[in-house]
Structure 1
């Protein structure tokens, strides 16, 4: 009986630690998109997660390790959201639905829950190799998701078109967020959407 109780207690502690770890990663995933990698500090993340600074090292060996997990979580969330949009639309309208969601005013305004490529792209080249590897995998996954919506999926033409589409989508959101004129911001995303949806993918 004592062995069972000890195992139950140990399992409960492990589950609680996992939940805390996930909470820290979730907070960090939002923070890097809001403030950038350089603007995301351990103390602020732990405070926002409702934890002490000292508890950090029981979850991560370094700040870089936390940033890598945060990037992975942000990337996974972004692809999952896009896949959900695609799945909820008729097959021949899936890509247009994805484009409309990505190039929407709502996405432009939702910095900390939006696409990590648009929020962090220019910073990524200066990050640790593990962060760059995660982002590279995300770019490949996002391009593949786009290519899969094409009738010629599997062909080089579909892959190239997907890379162009992804580059245009991300670039449009980056610029739409950068300018201080709402009308220009709207024009940037709308122009990209019009071009991508009228190009026949």
Structure 2
């Protein structure tokens, strides 16, 4: 009996979603194909009927994860009545919730170091997705791309450092300082 129409697309989407969550939480190299497939509720034998290799999955997971983050931020912004809406994004991005929930957070701070050592193809996809995030931030803040790059770099750096330390007070203060600096940068 054949699968219903759209079945393969749905399965592929489940695999990409599982991979994005796993990569955000554990990095690329520490996540195996069987782990990703198990997260999607599938056996690892079917992986190659959907993807040529893990690298192709990494590229799709990066696209998916950035789209997921942008949708979450856009939904929050759309519900906000007060301006400037960029402050809402800064507050969320540099929150303890975002710091502590890497598996659902932005993939850019989670994978930047690994991506720098990845293939040119993966780096190209990551670059495109980074530019998409910066454009969103810049447009929302009403600033040019150069200033948007500085703003987002500051936010990512603050989040990476806050996730890296084992001192909760220092981590919280890094987030707080990052928020203050990011908001000052928008208003400069």
Alignment TM-score, normalising by the size of structure 1: 0.86
Q: Counterpart of 2:120?
A: 129
Q: Distance in 2 between matches of 1:122 and 1:99?
A: 22
Alignment TM-score, normalising by the size of structure 2: 0.92
The runs of 5 or more residues in structure 1 that have no matched partner are 1-8
Instruction: Decide which moves more: 76-85 or 112-121.
Output: 76-85
Q: Counterpart of 1:104?
A: 95
Q: CA deviation at 1:82?
A: 2.0
Q: CA deviation at 1:107?
A: 0.3
Q: Counterpart of 1:195?
A: 181
Which of 62, 71, 78 is 2:53 aligned to? 62
Q: Deviations over 1:33-65 (max 9, x none)?
A: 111010111111112222222111111111111
Q: Distance in 2 between matches of 1:79 and 1:132?
A: 20
Q: Distance in 2 between matches of 1:30 and 1:150?
A: 28
Q: Deviations over 1:56-109 (max 9, x none)?
A: 111111111111111111111112222222222246321001100100100000
1:178-193 mapped onto 2 (5 Å cutoff):
178-193=164-179
Q: Counterpart of 2:153?
A: 167
Larger RCO (CA under 8 A, 6+ residues apart): 2
Q: Distance in 1 between matches of 2:168 and 2:86?
A: 26
Q: Counterpart of 1:115?
A: 106
Q: Counterpart of 1:4?
A: none
The runs of 5 or more residues in structure 2 that have no matched partner are none
Instruction: Decide which moves more: 121-130 or 102-111.
Output: 121-130
Instruction: Decide which moves more: 102-111 or 124-133.
Output: 124-133
Instruction: Give the alignment's Cα RMSD to 1 decimal.
Output: 1.7
Q: In structure 1, the residue corresponding to 2:160 is in which secondary structure?
A: helix
Q: Is the 8 A contact 1:79 1:141 kept in 2?
A: no
Q: Distance in 2 between matches of 1:182 and 1:133?
A: 35
Instruction: Please identify the structure whose Cα radius of gyration is greater.
Output: 1
